[in-house]
Structure 1
Amino acid sequence: MADSELTVTAAAVLTAEDEQSTGLRRTGRFTLIARRFARRRSAVVGLVLLVLLVVFAFVGPRIAQWGYDEPDFLALAQAPSAEHWFGTTTGGSDVFALVARGLGRSLAIGILSSVAITVIAAIVGTTIAFFEGWVERVGMWVLDMLLVIPSFLLIAMIVRSSSGANGWIWLAFGITVFGWIGYARVLRTLTLSLRELDYVHAAKYMGVRSFTIIRRHLIPNLGSVLIIQTVLGVVAAVNAETALSFLGLGIKAPDTSLGTILQAGQSVILTAPWVLIAPSVALVLLTFSVQLIGDGLRDAIDPNSRSGGRA
């Protein structure tokens, strides 16, 4: 057996003996984060609430007695009953089925947009900061120019030109196209300090390719920020979709979302308040749960947070 193998074997034996003698056991990073997250009761409540909303969005349309696109013309603006659990709209549509369908559509748009925005912003922001010089100057100029574009109007134009069946895809695309710009500027600022670290300079001197350094060293070291932003970005994307759909510039019939239901409910708030209350409660619970999860992740990832202590 070679000397190096003997050294590794001896070190492994010593490590095992130390763990047995001290009674301590190594804890992985993800295990430690999970334990810190679990100690935050509010974060656990938010996670459970989000899971229930996701289950409702997927299971609700299957257990509803009526489809979201199957109006009951014998029950127009009917209050909640055994047949229509959340009541009906003035057109006879079942509010329970509408909210389940709308919540699922809003969640799909929010999750897809948030993940895509995080990926694009991470790549662009770290690349601009890493190359410095004229690349950084041109990149920041482009970001500044993109920030002055009226994104709200352009997203509305993109969605308006689509059909009702695939309108949600174009809406998610529009939110993604204009949603990463400000976040890329933030990540560029955070990367300025990372690019001066010794291991980044060592990788450059060793001839490692620039994009390999970005992928292996810079982006992973922003992992905690990216995770939190992805979670909180779901709420931002859902709110953007809701605002556009509420104004009639987002999801169009025959599809539906929380924004379109709110738009229909605001005109009958006095005669049929359940049409407005049901989607409003779903939107508030979704926002509240994601905020709790985001706060829990922030405290769990940050070792100096108040959720520290024994893990």
Structure 2
Amino acid sequence: MTTEAVAGALAADEPTKSRGRGQLILRRFVRNRLALVGIAILVLLLLGAYVLPSILKWQYTDNDWNYLGTSPGQGGHLLGTNHSGQDMLAVTLRGLQKSLVIGLIGGPLTTFIAAVVGAAAGYFGGWIDRALMWGLELLLVIPGFLLLATISPKLAHVSWLIFVLLLAALGWMITARVVRSMTLTLKDREYVLAAKYMGVGSMKIIFRHILPNMASLLIVDAAVQIGLIVLGETSLSYFGFGIQAPDISLGTLIADGEPDAITSPWMFFVPAGFLVLIGLCSAFIGDGLRDAFDPSASGAKAKVKLPADGESDSQQVEIVSNTVRAEEGLAS
């Protein structure tokens, strides 16, 4: 068979199956109203955090000395002011910006680390598996909060991206265990063995034939991790170990408003309310994705089906073989 024929067969067969399965997953997800509500609220929060500050009268750095610690609605301050005269809506939107960015970067990064470590441990085995699992067990034993609380103050004047990396580096272990277990099963499938015998590189096998077969788990985990990373950042910032002044996050705002939660509740409950919304949206989206990828697992954690719906091992082997031949033909 010529290279053109192989490429034509792949273009007509494999993308069609992918589109059909993708459309089915999308239809299932759209039927989940809570998931759609979660996405809508999260998008509105993201847009509001970046669009509203440009049209507000007060910026988060401004101080209204005529209205110090006033309740919502007074002096043109929709959500009131804090004791420094800063508009609570402006400072909350600023904190929301930072917390959302940390979550949107840290969540997928945590899942990526888990996927790479878990797949490498399961696929290569031997001393690589033992070394990676030893490191994983060590991180599970060491309390992550205490470790972050110890390291974060030393990096107080470094970019907040380092803080995101620290959060991601201490949140991947449980998912990596699941990925490793699934990789141990997947690496013995016929289509993986066929790719290996045809000389396909190990990393290409992992990223092209193993990780895509657990996409449902990884996508759901990334969605859930966004909320967990935001909660982790908030907890550390609340105790003074996370985002440092003069920067602002939801955690620092909650910490500043907590002493006045009774006398001036808007200082505490406004940022706390946004935090709760982010957590709920993340959970709703994660549940919706889980049910969309695997409706039979409703009420349980997302799992992967081996092999994919409608594909036998022989079909997977044929697809891998055709792909390798097409790549070799094009390369030559």
Same fold (TM over 0.5): yes
Residue equivalent to 1:19: none
Task: Give the aligned partner of residue 252 of structure 1.
Answer: 244
> What is the match of residue 136 of structure 2?
143
Aligned match for 1:299, one of 291, 301, 324: 291
**Which residues in structure 2 correspond to 1:77-156 (within 5 Å)?**
77-81=69-73, 83-156=76-149
1:1-311 to 2 correspondences below 5 Å: 28-81=20-73, 83-163=76-156, 167-304=159-296
Deviation for aligned residue 1:153: 2.8
Cα 1:305–1:177 change in 2 (3 A) is closer
Instruction: Give per-residue Cα distances to partners, 1:99-121, cap 9 Å, x unaligned.
Output: 11111100111111111111111
8 A Cα contact 1:231 1:294, kept in partner: yes
Distance 1:236 1:289 in 2: 11
Paired amino acid for 2:53: P
What is the deviation of 1:123?
A: 0.9
Gaps of 5+ in 2: 300-332
Which string of whole-angstrom CA distances, capped at 9 and with x for unpartnered residues, describes residues 119-150 of structure 1? 11111110100112232222212221232234
Letter in 2 for 1:233: Q
Partners of 2:190 and 2:243 lie apart in 1 by: 50
State the match for 1:21 in structure 2: none
Distance 1:64 1:113 in 2: 29
Per the alignment, in what secondary structure is the counterpart of residue 177 of structure 2? helix
CA separation in 1, counterparts of 2:170 and 2:279?
21
Tell me, yes or no, if the aligned pair for 1:158 and 1:170 is still in contact at 8 Å.
Answer: no
Partner of 2:330: none
8 Å contact kept, 1:129–1:192: yes
Q: Which residue identity is paired with 1:137?
A: R
Tell me the C-alpha RMSD between the 2 structures: 2.5
The structure-2 alpha-carbon separation of the partners of 1:190 and 1:27, relative to structure 1 and needing over 3 Å to count, comes to: closer
The verdict on how the C-alpha distance between 1:167 and 1:212 changes in structure 2, with shifts beyond 3 A counting, is closer
Contact residue 290 and residue 298 of structure 2 kept, 8 A: no
- Shift in CA distance, 75/158, structure 1 to aligned 2, threshold 3 Å: same
Contact preservation (8 Å) 1:159, 1:171: yes
Q: Distance in 1 between matches of 2:173 and 2:253?
A: 30
Q: Quote how far apart the aligned CAs of 1:180 are.
A: 1.9
Q: 1:236 to 1:97 in 2, by over 3 A?
A: same
**Distance apart, 1:158 and its partner CA:** 3.5
How far the C-alpha of 1:264 sits from its partner, in A, is 0.9
Specify the code of the residue in structure 2 equivalent to 1:106. Answer: S
Alpha-carbon shift at residue 293 of structure 1 (Å):
1.0
CA distance in 2, matches of 1:296, 1:75: 44
CA contact (8 A) 2:95 2:250 kept: yes
More displaced stretch, 175-184 vs 260-269: 175-184
C-alpha separation between the residues in 2 aligned to 1:189 and 1:241?
A: 29
Q: Report the 3-state secondary structure (helix = DSSP H, G, I; strand = E; otherwise coil) of the residue aligned with 2:235.
A: helix
